[in-house]
Structure 1
Amino acid sequence: MKFSIVIPLYNKSRFVAGAVHSALTQSLAPHEVIVIDDGSTDGGADALAHVTDPRVRIVRQDNAGVSATRNRGIAMATGDWVAFLDADDAYHPEFLAALARAHAACPEADVLATRYRTVYEPTGLPLEPWPTPFCKVELVEDLRLRWMKNSPLCSSSVAVRKARLMQMTTWFVEGESYGEDLDMWFRLGDQAPVAVVNGPFATVRSAVPGSLSSIRPNTMPPFLVRMHQQALDGSIPARHRASALWFVAQHQVSLAREALSMGQRLRALHWLLMAAPRGLLNRRWQMTLAMALFMPVGVADRWQRWRLRSAEVFAQEPVQ
């Protein structure tokens, strides 16, 4: 298997050398590593001046956004699989080998992935290899439904078959920087199964200044607006339409809880009304309605913060 690794870089000069090192030191050697500096103002690509490995290609461009940057990397890739790695994240040395194991177990999958772990390490210090117990490969037929259990992958733990990418009319939607990755994974999941190794073979840094993952919008992101419309107009395959509508409704309930944490009861009730067609008989929807009607604002805020912390920990627990 020939893996092309695409690393979008924007103002992550402290971290990018570590990301590239983690890509190059795989037990299953990568075919190439493509770093695209998206107009960094902190000398991003200069941090790689010492890298002489011929497998590394460094491209500089004017700032165009993360989606356009990843798309350029896809277009440049010459491997038969395209893997993605954010410039402040890192692979375990066995990451590509784990993807190869997923491919061997589920050759019909066009998306290969592993679980991931999150660490608070904003300084750019190297990440030592971490233990990865042997875990089973899971074939995911409905990615949205699986996502509601816990997030099985992230942008730094995914590889996509290049042939599948070349069949798509749209890769990452340009001009968007929140949910553009989920939009891509769900559209791919509508076309073919996803194989996930249920062990953490990638590390995501949290609390890094400028990280897009730290942004929490208080309205529906564009990809969910599209998902809702596509489920209604039949663009999403029939077998996945119910889960798509359910996924959107669950996000609307989450927006209601975010509104409650900010003391916005009327806004919370608005989101609950939007989610009502899919949520009336759901315990989570009912509990949020009770919170909106009866729970003091301060208590709702503390409860929401605790729930988000607990959900982040749960999402990273490997499934045996």
Structure 2
Amino acid sequence: MKFSVVIPLYNKARYVHSAVRSVLAQTLPPHEVVVVDDGSTDGSAAAVESIADPRVQLIRQANAGVSAARNRGIAEATGDWIALLDADDWYHPEMLAALAQAHEACPEADMLGAGFRKVPHLMGADPDPWAVTDDFYEVEVVDDLRQRWMRTSPFCSSSVAIRAKRLQAMQPCFAEGDHYGEDLDLWFRVADQSLVAIVNAPFAATRVLPDSLSARHPVLTLPMFLQRMRADARAGRIPARHRKSALWFVGQQEVTLAREALSAGNRRAALRFLVDARSVALTTRWQLTLLMALFMPTSVADNWQRWRLRSAEVFSREGPAQ
């Protein structure tokens, strides 16, 4: 298997050298590493240029966002599989070998994934080594990724690979201009057309940076990728076997957004999300959230801040709130 690893880069000078080296250190060597510098201003490109390896390709472009950088890297890649890695994350040395094992277990799958672990802010240093001791890892074959995602996040943006032919037929793969869920949007669209093979062991490390720990402003409108998912399901553009779970997934995310609005003291927005999510009104989660919206005093709502922090993950690379 020829893996092209695409790394979108914006102002990650402290981390990108480590990220690229983790790819070059793979026991299954990569075909190439395509780094797309998206208009960095902190010397990130120079950090990549300091790596003397002919497999590393640096592409520069004006700042256009992470989706545009990923799309550019996919367009430039020449391997038959495209793996993604964020510039502040890191591969275990067996990462690509594990993905190859997933492919061997399910050759018809066009998307391969692996588990991941979170590491603290490390000021550019490599994360401490971690052991993944088995010689053969469990490979889970997933048909309905939305249902699977709501249990746990089986992979992240830095632990996934997709067959290049599939991505090339979907260009532009990542929705440019979306601010939440552009990665989940792609994963689900690929999974609607193909099985997904996942190695349930942690072969990537994602760095928890200080700014990712702060509370963000609550989302007051349904993000575009969820709006598109609902519209596509209703219009029959999602395969019939996945339409019900797509509508269920959107409804559950609206419940999550209602809880987030409550934690910010916005009862009206919470009720609006719950009305829109009425297709899942028979679930305990929806009913409990409605009771909170109707009867919980605003002062008590402040204590639900942890719900907001957890629910924010539905739009991040770590996945949805559980």
The 1:245/1:165 distance shift into structure 2, 3 A limit, reads: same
Would you say the 8 A contact 1:122–1:208 is kept in 2? Answer: no
Q: Which runs of 5+ in 1 are unaligned?
A: none
Q: Which runs of 5+ in 2 are unaligned?
A: none
Partner deviation per Cα, 1:15-52 (whole Å, 9 max, x = no partner)? 10010011110111111001111000111111123210
Following TM superposition, by how much is the alpha carbon of 1:310 offset from its aligned partner in structure 2, in angstroms?
A: 10
Q: Quick one: which of 163, 180, 183 aligns to 2:182? A: 180
Would you say the 8 A contact 1:218–1:258 is kept in 2? Answer: no
The 1:216/1:71 distance shift into structure 2, 3 A limit, reads: farther
The 1:125/1:100 distance shift into structure 2, 3 A limit, reads: same
Question: What secondary structure is seen at the aligned counterpart in 2 of 1:219?
Answer: coil
The 1:214/1:60 distance shift into structure 2, 3 A limit, reads: farther
Partner deviation per Cα, 1:225-251 (whole Å, 9 max, x = no partner)? 100100110111111000110010011
The aligned counterpart of 2:158 is 156
Q: Note the 1:1-320 alignment, pairs <5 A.
A: 1-134=1-134, 135-209=137-211, 217-276=219-278, 278-305=279-306, 308=309
Question: What secondary structure is seen at the aligned counterpart in 2 of 1:151?
Answer: coil
Would you say the 8 A contact 1:137–1:198 is kept in 2? Answer: yes
Following TM superposition, by how much is the alpha carbon of 1:113 offset from its aligned partner in structure 2, in angstroms?
A: 0.5
The 1:139/1:298 distance shift into structure 2, 3 A limit, reads: farther
Question: What secondary structure is seen at the aligned counterpart in 1 of 2:254?
Answer: helix
Would you say the 8 A contact 1:207–1:214 is kept in 2? Answer: no
Following TM superposition, by how much is the alpha carbon of 1:215 offset from its aligned partner in structure 2, in angstroms?
A: 7.7
Partner deviation per Cα, 1:161-220 (whole Å, 9 max, x = no partner)? 112122325411122232111111110000101111111111111235489x97863421
> What is the number of equivalent residue pairs in this alignment?
313
The 1:227/1:11 distance shift into structure 2, 3 A limit, reads: same
Q: TM-score, normalised by structure 2?
A: 0.91
Letter in 2 for 1:104: E
The 1:216/1:132 distance shift into structure 2, 3 A limit, reads: farther
- Within 2, Cα distance between the matches of 1:228 and 1:260? 23
RMSD of equivalent CA atoms: 2.3
Question: What secondary structure is seen at the aligned counterpart in 2 of 1:8?
Answer: strand
Question: What secondary structure is seen at the aligned counterpart in 2 of 1:20?
Answer: helix
- Within 2, Cα distance between the matches of 1:149 and 1:175? 28
Would you say the 8 A contact 1:261–1:298 is kept in 2? Answer: no
